[in-house]
Chain A
Amino acid sequence: MEYLSSDKVGIIDLATREIQEEDLDEELVKEKIGGAGITQALYNRFEDEDPVVLGAGLLCGTLVPASALGVMTAKSPVTGKMCHVPLTLDAGVELKYSGFDYIVIKGTASEPIYLWIHDGIADVEDAKDLWGKDVWASTDYVRETMGDDLIQVLAIGEAGESGSEIAQVCINYWASADRMGFGNLLGKKKVKLIALRGMGLLEIAEPEEMIDACQALLTEVKSGAFAGKKGIGELATAIGEEDLGDWIAPLVHRHSACFNTPFASNTFVFLDEDPSKVEESAVPEPGFLLTDIYGLLGLKGLGLSAADACGILKACAKSGVDPAAVAELCEKSQKKDPEEIKGSLLDLKGPVESVGQGPFSPWAPQKPLSKEFGLPEDGSEDSTWWMRRQGVAYIFGIHPIFALMSPALSEEKLIELANIGTDLDFAAETLDQVISEITG
């Protein structure tokens, strides 16, 4: 695969620690496009060895607006079926430039390990010193060991190590979109974390045409309904939770975006520092990055203060548990004391409805976030539309929330950009077929 690609697939056998490399077959790309289309194909190929497959969308890491998305595909311990978890923040783009297009992690390690994926090299490292550390300490450890603070880390905490049903794979220090129990799965495989870094280069088939098309698309995107808006409060408003913005406002420090995403959906709150402080804080861990709207809403629903809710979210991310599941289980058991909740994170269990049910994570709101999509206001088409829209995002590597905000990122436009970028001749029928396959 010549363009928008590192032309490499890594296959890691956890049992033997052997690593194989293959070229990324251009015929596979022509047939499955990318992202979840190819992670699913690789999952099917290695299904007997219970694989976890990482990959970036075809357009991930480019100047296509919102091209942030990587995908983790595996059999969910929650649903018992193969499903896909989106990798946001900078994890998707770091994977894209790591020198690998896709990574297959198969089998189970006999001792705790971590994976160091960088510059076209995949290393299996001993994680005996890491096992037992929380997510934050694990991320610090690998960054300090490698001497690079920009390494992106997919890590489990004590919840994943101990087989918690609500364990989550976190990204660096923060909650992720893993509502499928992949934290539990990595724990069973004795994979403490996956560290990603790369300084790769992606050739473009028609560079000038690609840049012009990306710029024209960005101009269109910037005139959309979310122009000038940012933060988790605005996202809450878009899903009908207007009062969350005011509730959280006294803690808000700044908003930040996932890679090249026009809407900054992540909001940092200061818990142990003045939120208005613009200079670098002297406090080592002054707050928390809110990346999960449903975890926050669930804790708000318990009647907690914003500070207590955010403190619990921070504890969830350190332990590596799904915060939406925590909120739901606490609601069911009428547990509302913040310290009691924090102290019970590793013991919470029971049926959870907020976890994933289908192929895609319910971390992204399950409806359009802009009226510009023109769907019926009674919501009758939302479910079918959402499934297809998420499929498109997971294949091309588009941020799954921004995909719900911007009709400008149409299927036709993404196919056109993929064709300009790769010189392959993707057709709408191919996309239909791949969406059909990944939505089951």
Chain B
Amino acid sequence: MGIKIDPLKCTACMACELACGYHRDDAFAFLSSCIVPYRAREKKNYFGVILKEEDSLVVARPEGLEINKIGEEQDPEKEADASAKPMLLREACDLCEDMEGGPMCIKFCPVDAISVD
């Protein structure tokens, strides 16, 4: 079971990132989130979502899903992590196992772009 993202439904509103941050910090914060919309290519309007899992970094690009195994060399041309705290340093998604009602990112996505696979 894991988080499934529909990047073409995503509107880059960052609700998932803040919801995940609450799960980590019991406060409103972004820095510890394991799910982050990447929105660094603003002038190109190229955006999607990155998810840190236990052994992989999932990059939900508009054109399709990319799963990068942690520890393997990545294509530098496809860099998508523009966050202040690199994704690999963050805790992996635990599906909000201690939260009633399931993953916070799913609960707070206003456009239902996230689900459990």
Listed in ascending order, the chain A residues whose CB lies under 8 Å from chain B are 4, 61-63, 65, 90, 93, 97, 136, 148-150, 172-173, 197, 199-204, 207, 211, 214-215, 218, 221-222, 230, 253-262, 264, 268, 270, 278-281, 283-287, 289
B52 in contact (CB, < 8 A): no
Cross-interface CB contact of B39 among A62, A150, A201, A278, cutoff 8 Å: A150
Since A62-B18, A173-B42, A285-B43 are in contact, a sample of 6 more A-B pairs with Cβ atoms closer than 8 Å, ordered by chain A residue number, is A62-B28, A204-B26, A218-B108, A268-B45, A279-B62, A279-B63
Among residues of B, the one whose C-beta sits closest to the C-beta of A219 is: B107
Cross-interface CB contact of B45 among A93, A256, A257, cutoff 8 Å: A256
Contact B110 A150 (CB under 8 A): no
Contact A172 B42 (CB under 8 A): yes
Cross-interface CB contact of A65 among B22, B26, B47, B110, cutoff 8 Å: B110
Q: How far is the CB of B59 from chain A (nearest CB, A)?
A: 12
B29 in contact (CB, < 8 A): yes
6 example contacts (A-B, Cβ-Cβ < 8 A) are as follows A201-B27, A202-B29, A215-B108, A254-B45, A270-B45, A280-B44
> In the bound complex, what is the Cα–Cα distance between A231 and B39 (angstroms)?
18
Contact B107 A215 (CB under 8 A): yes
> In the bound complex, what is the Cα–Cα distance between A215 and B104 (angstroms)?
10
Contact A201 B29 (CB under 8 A): yes
Cross-interface CB contact of B28 among A63, A254, A258, cutoff 8 Å: A63
1/0 contact string of B78-114 vs chain A (CB within 8 Å): 0000111100000000000000000010011011000
Listed in ascending order, the chain B residues whose CB lies under 8 Å from chain A are 8, 11-15, 18-19, 22, 25-31, 39-47, 61-63, 82-85, 104, 107-108, 110-111
Q: CB-CB < 8 A to A202: which residues of B?
A: 27-29
Q: CB-CB < 8 A to B108: which residues of A?
A: 63, 214-215, 218, 260
What secondary structure prevails in chain A residues at the interface with B? loop
> In the bound complex, what is the Cα–Cα distance between A203 and B26 (angstroms)?
8
Contact A280 B41 (CB under 8 A): yes
> In the bound complex, what is the Cα–Cα distance between A201 and B41 (angstroms)?
26
Q: How far is the CB of A276 from chain B (nearest CB, A)?
A: 11
Among residues of B, the one whose C-beta sits closest to the C-beta of A90 is: B14
Among residues of B, the one whose C-beta sits closest to the C-beta of A119 is: B84
Residue among A200, A203, A256, A289 with the most chain B CB within 10 A? A256
Contact B45 A253 (CB under 8 A): yes
Cross-interface CB contact of B13 among A97, A221, A259, cutoff 8 Å: A259
Contact B83 A203 (CB under 8 A): no
Contact B42 A201 (CB under 8 A): no
Contact A148 B29 (CB under 8 A): no
Residue among B15, B43, B47, B85 with the most chain A CB within 10 A? B43
> In the bound complex, what is the Cα–Cα distance between A90 and B31 (angstroms)?
16
